[in-house]
Amino acid sequence: MNLRQTERAVIVASRFFTLIAVFGSLIGAFLMFLLGFYNIYAAVTVGLQPADGHFGTAAIISVIEALDRFLIAIVLLYFSYGVYSLFIHPEEPEERLAIPAWLRVQQIGQLKQVVTEVIVVVLFVLFLRVALETFVQNKAATSWLHLGTIALLPVSILLLSLSLRMVELHPKPGRSEPDSEKRR
């Protein structure tokens, strides 16, 4: 075996290091599903009891957190499948696996786009939770520092959304070419 064949064999074999990302994402997804289920359980057990005169508010917050965790779990599954299909078995025909079109990953940019979109959604859910907790506890007029802290999240979400739109790691299907050419 000559040096060129050895180099190629090492490079091709190195793609299996991505299995660490695949299994890590699967474990993370499983954990997020468990945490989301725990939040639903907490919503059912705590939600039927009035807390500080606000009936069901704790349940709403817990359900919102559960939905957020389920969303993260689903994205981790998508990421895991995407890394697997891009690096481990790129030649595997997706039709044979009966994968829906929305789950097919052709580029690493798709994975980056989905992860960054989820970060924006997670920040939005965090803002919603903080706002609900603040107004339930009547902290709305506590201090300028507290209000500034609450206002920081929507500003961050707006800036991240705008930057995500400008960068556009992976073009969305259905976007017309003239729109993407106008930005150039």
| pLDDT number for residue 50 | 65
Pairing of strands 50-51, 54-55: antiparallel
> Is a pLDDT exceeding 80 seen at residue 3?
yes
Question: Which of left, alpha, beta for 14 (phi over 0: left; psi -120 to 50: alpha)?
Answer: alpha
> Is a pLDDT exceeding 50 seen at residue 180?
no
Q: pLDDT class for 184, splitting at 50, 70, 90?
A: very low
| pLDDT number for residue 25 | 94
Question: Which of left, alpha, beta for 56 (phi over 0: left; psi -120 to 50: alpha)?
Answer: left
Question: In this structure, what token pair is assigned to residue 79?
Answer: 């990421």
Average pLDDT over residues 158-168: 77
Least trusted range by pLDDT, from 26-35, 111-120, 138-147, 155-164? 138-147
- Using a 10 angstrom Cβ sphere, with 0-12 exposed, 13-18 middle and 19 or more buried, the burial of residue 80 is buried
Total residues belonging to the chain: 184
Of the two residues 178 and 47, the one the predictor is more confident about is 47
> Is a pLDDT exceeding 80 seen at residue 26?
yes
| pLDDT number for residue 53 | 59
Distance CA 74, CA 138 (A): 35
What's CA 126's distance to the chain center, in Å? 13
Average pLDDT over residues 25-52: 88
Cα angle: 141, vertex 146, 149; to 5 degrees: 135
